[in-house]
Amino acid sequence: MQAFLDTFLGDAAGLERQLGYLAGMAVFGSVVVFGFVLPFAGIVTWAERRIWARIQSRVGPNRVGPFGFLQWLADGVKNILKEDLIPTVADRPLFRFAPYVVMVGFIAAFVCVPFSSDLIIADLNIGILYVTAVTSLVVVGILMAGWSSNNRWSLLGGIRAATQIISYEIPASLSIFPAVLLSGTLSMQGIIGAQGAAPWQWHMFHSPFTLLGFGLFFTAALAEGNRTPFDLAEAESELVAGFATEYSGMRSTLFFMAEWGNLYVIGALVTTLYMGGWQLPQFTYNPVLMNLAQAGVFMGKSFACVFFMIWLRATLPRVRVDQLMAMCWKYMVPLAMLSVFGTATLMVALPNGSHTLRMATFAVVVGVVIRFAFKVRFHLKRARELDYSSLSSGASQGLSS
Amino acid sequence: MSAVTSWLQNVTASCSTVFEGLSITFSHFFRKPYTVEYPDRIETRVQDTLPFRYRGMLEVDLEICTGCLACERACPIECIVIEATKDKATRQLMINRFDIDLAKCMYCGLCSEPCPTGSIHHTREFEGSDYSLESMMRRYVKFPVAAYKPKKTGEDDPEIMPVLERGMRYLDEFAQPAAKPASGATSSSESTSSSESTSSSGTTDPGSGTG
Amino acid sequence: MSVELEVHNSQGLPTEEMTLNMGPQHPSTHGVLRFIVKADGEVMRRAIPDIGYLHRSIEKIAEKVGWHGFMPYTDRVDYVAAMACNQGWAMAAEQLADIEVPRRGEYCRVIAAELSRICSHLLGVGAMGMDMGAITPFTHAIRERDMIMDLIEELCGARLTFNYMRIGGVAWDLPHGFVEKVSHYLDHLEPVIEEFNQLLGFNRIYVKRLADVATVDADMAIAWGLVGPNLRGSGVDFDVRRDLPYSVYEDFDFDVPLGSGEMGSIGDSWDRYIVRMREMVESIRILRQALAGIPEGPVIARVARNFKPPVGDVHVKIEAPRGEQSWYVSSDGSEYPHRVHIRTGSFTAMGIIDRLSHGLMIADLVAVIASMDIVAPEVDR
């Protein structure tokens, strides 16, 4: 990014140069945020509803726009037009401020998300540390929301969320270490640079310890993002909407956009750390094409992670708060320690890495995927697809495909 | 040692059951959804796919109403109001009023059972929502009509015959008690000719004791 | 409700109990139930039920509409499993007037009641899953329930409030092709139940949420009057269909599943869940036997339109999906019953929740209510 801006700034120096960088970053940041992040947060709701619907034997929204694609816009417009209710007993300044804190905490993470080798707003040399730090702002926002609503259910939700996010910072940060150790740098581009384009060259498959780190990071990030199975902060059947109960209209939309957008942040982080980022074999020397292709690869991998998280949410029930804590401290932290020490030990024992170990880990994962495919086939064959039209006198004859 | 084994068991059990659950939900992507996209993206109208016994909105065929008031008595929620008076001049039973309050009706079917000709019957219509409560009151009598008298020799009026056939077919769906011959596929003319029409249909016999 | 201040916690420091209202409107699928929860943070001290939000005076209405006219109202006593309530009322009136239902009619009743039992259990376990956060098994259960309702719609014309049975038998005979359709459907349902169990029942997170939560041992279950799957989940081997047989249940060969503490202790919430799942399998067994062995003949006995049973009382017990339903009907010889009282399984299950909730977390309260399969219409009538 800096190199790109340098071409415009020529030989301006000092304050001018810094201001130029600032302006460039602001422009690019706005493009990313308003052009990608916020629409994506909306589109992921559409994707979520369609994906859940197919899993649940029904059809998701399909009336508003082609395949219901404009449903999220319609929902957004509806939310904007709603009355902005603030309970009289609520703490007004905190109540209004809380959604903004949550949004800032979530959007600020995009500064360091590497979309391709040149498309990154700022390649901080403490990249991943910055992201972890800044996403913790969300806790403050959620606690503010839960407290200021002056509603016991919101308070419970807010406190649950705060304990959850703070606790899961530990395994999340610990599971970043294997990737950082292997890359030797905290910078996002550096971590990607240490990986290769082919799947077995990703950090994930370096050894079983990094595979463990990948799994733990994914789970801990899920817990950070308040997604099922860890979504007790907004457990619908218990607390209506948890900390966001008293919020209506656009304010509540901000909370939920932060949650859905967080899905992408999690996907991006997992991709960067463990799945090779935007790495692609060099197929052209045209930088624009190359960057676009790399961005495409990055998006593809992140969207795959997002799809997995949506799919997981449809499948699993949620854990209780004490089980959540037990899982974090009794299971994930020891396993994360194991993955860190294991990776470190391997790095000392085999400084150049072991190709066989890498290929073995890759083979194990491929085996798991194949087993999964067989299980899916088994389930499909077992569920004797009922020919619906033969059931009743034809109430289901009206099935459209 | 058992603590370690139970710890390991927890981890493996979680992973394997999550794996199983994920495979089940993934398999649903390859199955057809069950949704019927009513009302516009279906080939046949839903009303036409419903069974003949379906208890939709009530309808009265006044041509074959005998004015016996059996439906009014049977209704548990008093949504049927009928006025039938014997006209002194013509010695005929005139039906002056036949109102069904569809807002009250609970679609139980108890009115259509005792009807001797099947004039009050459930249709397969269910789309009845409207903007006013008054429109829910269906008034079937526009001007007083004479009550229907079933003919012993069978119905021969070509206008009334199809209506009666439909009515009797509707009544045939109801189960008959043992003592009567099985209704089966009796044609309408035969069953009206035995104009014990008050008891050839329906499951209860008026005033035949408590047995 | 007075707020108890100056409660002391375990370290002797004064603390305050939080009074929460889990109000009549909340997104869980059990109807309008209200609980006043007194909690110390996440741990509950009491959960006081407040019922009556769905009271419709059904028992009083019986005294006004008469014997035949009350049948549609019985559907509304438990609209999730309406056939059982129909059957209870019909049996009570028949016992009062000494009417014998023809054998084919009894078989039709059993088929309808068992289909309705499967429907009800599907909703019960689906709602349980949804309360735990698993949204998919609920939709699958509803899909299966919808298919059964299609079948019942062919049978009696309605999908929820069936009004299928009459005093003396049933109102409609089985339509053409019904036996084949139901058999075909049952072939489809068996793997679905297995799949449901694999997706939800044996899922580790689900098991951990329910195992050892709100354990009700056998003595406590009997003392608090639990019935049905709640009672059998605690290990008490009692099923009205087998032990006080009514209708033609003696002709059928079926097992009565009991909770055995597979995943925790006997009588915990998971046991009640698995008892329901296994009861569905048993219902399929009964259905297959009934469909295979249904005799020819009439389905309804001759009963007067102005039905006047002799003076007397009768107390009928049936095994509704939510447990044993008792119908106490008192007749004074007139066309209108003198008094009807329906004792439903959900009513007593509401009572035990307060007793169980001490020490549970708020998240568990939802689990307990769901595992007791409480529906508001049965509680309030």
Tell me how far apart the alpha carbons of residues C158 and C90 are, in angstroms, rounded to a whole number.
19
**pLDDT digits over A10-21, tens only?**
777 778 888 888
Tell me how far apart the alpha carbons of residues A377 and C305 are, in angstroms, rounded to a whole number.
58
Cross-chain Cβ contact B211/C99 below 8 Å = yes
Give C188's contacts in chain A (Cβ within 8 Å). 383-384, 386
Task: Identify which of A237, A250, A330, A217 has the alpha carbon closest to the alpha carbon of residue A38.
Answer: A250
Q: Which of C150, C191, C209 sits opposite A320 (nearest CB)?
A: C209
**pLDDT digits over B153-173, tens only?**
776 788 888 888 888 898 888
Cross-chain Cβ contact B209/C298 below 8 Å = no
CA distance, residue A268 to nearest chain B CA (Å): 22
Cross-chain Cβ contact B53/C305 below 8 Å = no
Give B208's contacts in chain C (Cβ within 8 Å). 302, 304
Give A400's contacts in chain B (Cβ within 8 Å). 36-37, 41-43
Give A55's contacts in chain B (Cβ within 8 Å). 25, 28-29
Which CATH number describes the domain made up of C58-345?
1.10.645.10
Range scoring the smallest mean pLDDT among A197-211, A222-236, A242-256, A350-364: A222-236
Q: Is the CB of residue B165 less than 8 Å from the CB of residue C128? A: no
Instruction: State residue C328's pLDDT score.
Output: 95
Instruction: State residue C27's pLDDT score.
Output: 66
Q: What mean pLDDT value characterizes chain A?
A: 86
Tell me how far apart the alpha carbons of residues B150 and B163 are, in angstroms, rounded to a whole number.
13
Q: Tell me, yes or no, if C179 comes closer than 8 A to chain A by beta carbon.
A: no
**Mean pLDDT across the stretch B73-102?**
90
Give A376's contacts in chain C (Cβ within 8 Å). none
CA distance, residue A54 to nearest chain B CA (Å): 6
Instruction: State residue A117's pLDDT score.
Output: 85
Cross-chain Cβ contact C156/B106 below 8 Å = no
Q: What mean pLDDT value characterizes chain C?
A: 89
Q: Is the CB of residue B105 less than 8 Å from the CB of residue B187? A: no
Judged on CB neighbours under 10 Å (0-12, 13-18, 19+), C349 is: buried
Instruction: Please tell me which residue of chain C has the smallest CA distance to B178.
Output: C298
Which secondary-structure segment (H or E) carries B58?
strand B58-60
Cross-chain Cβ contact B175/C70 below 8 Å = no
Cross-chain Cβ contact C150/A396 below 8 Å = yes
Q: Which of B77, B108, B125, B173 to mutate to test the interface with C (most CBs of C within 10 A)?
A: B108
Q: Which of C42, C132, C136 sits opposite A314 (nearest CB)?
A: C136
Q: Which of C140, C270, C362, C369 to mutate to test the interface with A (most CBs of A within 10 A)?
A: C362
- Residue A292, amino acid: L
Tell me how far apart the alpha carbons of residues A292 and A30 are, in angstroms, rounded to a whole number.
19
Confidence (pTM)? 0.89
Range scoring the smallest mean pLDDT among A67-71, A172-176, A337-341, B153-157: B153-157
* Range among A114-123, B181-190, C150-159 with highest mean pLDDT value: C150-159
Q: Which of B11, B25, B42 sits opposite A314 (nearest CB)?
A: B25
Tell me how far apart the alpha carbons of residues A116 and A127 are, in angstroms, rounded to a whole number.
15
Cross-chain Cβ contact B110/C68 below 8 Å = yes
CA distance, residue A281 to nearest chain C CA (Å): 40
Q: Is the CB of residue A21 less than 8 Å from the CB of residue A118? A: no
CA distance, residue B179 to nearest chain C CA (Å): 8
pLDDT at B210 over 70: no
Tell me how far apart the alpha carbons of residues C125 and C273 are, in angstroms, rounded to a whole number.
7
Instruction: Please tell me which residue of chain B has the smallest CA distance to A398.
Output: B42
Judged on CB neighbours under 10 Å (0-12, 13-18, 19+), A288 is: exposed
CA distance, residue A127 to nearest chain B CA (Å): 32
Cross-chain Cβ contact A386/C363 below 8 Å = no
Task: Identify which of A2, A46, A50, A48 has the alpha carbon closest to the alpha carbon of residue A22.
Answer: A2
Beta-sheet strand order (sheet of C339-343): C312-320, C323-331, C339-343
Q: Which chains touch C (3 or more CB pairs under 8 A)?
A: A, B
**pLDDT digits over B110-161, tens only?**
999 999 988 999 999 998 889 999 999 999 999 988 888 887 777 678 888 8
**pLDDT digits over A276-334, tens only?**
888 888 888 888 888 899 999 999 999 999 999 999 999 999 888 888 899 999 999 99
List phi, psi (to 5°) of A354: -120, 120
Cross-chain Cβ contact B43/A398 below 8 Å = yes
Q: Return the percentage of chain B with pLDDT > 90, whole number.
A: 36
**Mean pLDDT across the stretch A230-236?**
71
Residue labelled with tokens 């309804």: C300
Instruction: State residue B190's pLDDT score.
Output: 34
Structure tokens at C253: 């060969």
Instruction: Please tell me which residue of chain B has the smallest CA distance to A314.
Output: B25
Q: Residue A351: beta bridge partners?
A: none
pLDDT at B201 over 50: no
Cross-chain Cβ contact A391/C150 below 8 Å = yes
User: How do strand B120-122 and strand B204-205 relate by DSSP bridges?
Assistant: unpaired
Cross-chain Cβ contact C191/A236 below 8 Å = no
DSSP at C172: B
Task: Report domain extents, chain C.
Answer: 58-345
User: How do strand B204-205 and strand C303-304 relate by DSSP bridges?
Assistant: parallel
Residue that wins the pLDDT comparison between C378 and A242 = C378
Question: How far from each other are the two terminal CA atoms of chain C, in whole angstroms?
Answer: 26
Task: Identify which of A40, A28, A36 has the alpha carbon closest to the alpha carbon of residue A2.
Answer: A28
Cross-chain Cβ contact B209/C309 below 8 Å = no
Give C212's contacts in chain A (Cβ within 8 Å). none
Q: Tell me, yes or no, if A358 comes closer than 8 A to chain C by beta carbon.
A: no
Cross-chain Cβ contact A330/B7 below 8 Å = yes
Tell me how far apart the alpha carbons of residues A173 and A339 are, in angstroms, rounded to a whole number.
12
Q: Tell me, yes or no, if C158 comes closer than 8 A to chain A by beta carbon.
A: no
CA distance, residue C301 to nearest chain B CA (Å): 5
Give A383's contacts in chain C (Cβ within 8 Å). 188, 191-192, 195
Q: Tell me, yes or no, if B178 comes closer than 8 A to chain C by beta carbon.
A: yes
Instruction: State residue A235's pLDDT score.
Output: 61
**pLDDT digits over A27-53, tens only?**
888 888 888 888 898 899 999 999 999
Give C173's contacts in chain B (Cβ within 8 Å). 175
pLDDT at A393 over 50: no
User: How do strand B137-139 and strand B92-101 relate by DSSP bridges?
Assistant: antiparallel
Task: Identify which of B19, C33, C20, C137 has the alpha carbon closest to the alpha carbon of residue A369.
Answer: B19
The maximal CA–CA distance of chain C, rounded, in angstroms, is: 76
**Mean pLDDT across the stretch C195-206?**
92
Q: Which of C35, C128, C138, C188 to mutate to test the interface with A (most CBs of A within 10 A)?
A: C188
**For chains A and B, what is the number of CB pairs under 8 angstroms?**
96
Q: Is the CB of residue A274 less than 8 Å from the CB of residue A213? A: yes
Instruction: State residue A394's pLDDT score.
Output: 42
CA distance, residue B159 to nearest chain A CA (Å): 30
Instruction: State residue B184's pLDDT score.
Output: 41
Task: Report domain extents, chain A.
Answer: 82-373
- How many other CB atoms are there within 10 angstroms of residue C18's CB atom? 18
- Residue C229, amino acid: P
pLDDT at A340 over 90: yes
Q: Which of C16, C205, C365 to mutate to test the interface with A (most CBs of A within 10 A)?
A: C205
pLDDT at C335 over 50: yes
Cross-chain Cβ contact C203/B17 below 8 Å = yes
pLDDT at A208 over 60: yes
Q: Which chains touch B (3 or more CB pairs under 8 A)?
A: A, C
Q: Return the percentage of chain C with pLDDT > 70, whole number.
A: 96
